[in-house]
Amino acid sequence: MLFPLDWTLSLIGSVLRLGAGGPGKPAVTPEKPLILYEFENCPFCRIAREAISVTGVPVEVRPCPKGGTRYRPRAIELGGKSMFPYLIDPNTDVAMYESADIARYVRETYAPDAKPFMHRLGPLNLLTSIALVWPRLMRGMMVRPSRQPDQRLEFQGAENSPAARIIREALSTHELAYLWTSHTDGAGLKLKDPNTGETQTGALSILTYLDRTYCQPMTA
Ligand SMILES: N[C@@H](CCC(=O)N[C@@H](CS)C(=O)NCC(=O)O)C(=O)O
């Protein structure tokens, strides 16, 4: 899809969510990044990610799209059932399912004042998160082949950024794990790849880099 159209559809999503999931900085910085098993366009995972985004805690995202074989089986083994999102906090030895519990946990543990307005709206919160699956055409939900990097990538960009959403969909569908921080320190979207030493900034450069480095010729 043409990027401007894609971006516009993603922007509609961010508006629908009333901008939930902006960048934040944690009041308490965790020693180790949290670990989140999830996939893009799962409405429950979105709620968990929005909460994480506003707290600003670093999280290692391990994408588990449907049909995925890289992280999904391990998530099911660890938690005991096939349900996403699933959060592990190695700092406190806490592990949990349930998007609402995850949102509450990260807020109470790392940034007590951070709560997106949308998350205060009861059933509307989940309903609009479900509604957003359609303008995004369910992208990020189903696995597509890719080369597996030896080391996880690093990505900076808030949950509510329309362009960051498109990048996360690519990372999710291709099962590319990444250390995610929502705040960009004003530098815009950034992808660092410790495997190649490359840093890419800006949505189109990042998407092109991911495609060329990890997705071709498998998606050709
Ligand atoms: N009550 C849970 C519901 C989570 C849920 O149903 N997630 C779906 C994905 S949107 C799921 O895990 N489906 C099973 C699967 O993908 O294997 C929550 O709020 O986190």
- 219 pLDDT above the threshold of 50: no
pLDDT in tens, 97-106: 999 999 999 9
* 43 Cα–ligand 1 center, Å: 8
> What distance in Å separates the CA atoms of residue 92 and residue 112, rounded to the nearest whole number?
17
- 6 pLDDT above the threshold of 90: yes
pLDDT at position 80 is 98
Mean pLDDT of the chain: 95
What are the two backbone dihedrals, phi and then psi, of residue 20, each rounded to the nearest 5 degrees? -60, 140
- 137 pLDDT above the threshold of 90: no
* 63 Cα–ligand 1 center, Å: 14
- What's the mean pLDDT in 74-78? 98
pLDDT at position 218 is 55
- 217 pLDDT above the threshold of 80: no
> What distance in Å separates the CA atoms of residue 127 and residue 71, rounded to the nearest whole number?
28
* 99 Cα–ligand 1 center, Å: 9
pLDDT at position 199 is 97
* 93 closest CA partner among 39, 44, 32: 32
Residue 23 three-state SS: coil
* 187 Cα–ligand 1 center, Å: 34
DSSP assignment of 29-51, as one string? --SS-EEEEE-TT-HHHHHHHHH
Atom of ligand 1 nearest to the CA of 100: 19
**Which residues lie with the beta carbon below 6 Å from any ligand 1 atom?**
42-44, 66, 82-85, 97-100
pLDDT at position 5 is 93
- 188 pLDDT above the threshold of 60: yes
- 48 pLDDT above the threshold of 70: yes
Pocket test for ligand 1, best of 40, 42, 77, 175 (most atoms within 8 A of CB): 42
- What's the mean pLDDT in 5-28? 94
Domains of the chain: 3-18+28-215 (3.40.30.10)
pLDDT at position 8 is 94
E-strand ranges in the chain read 34-38, 59-63, 86-89, 94-96, 153-156, 178-181, 190-193, 198-201
* 83 Cα–ligand 1 center, Å: 5
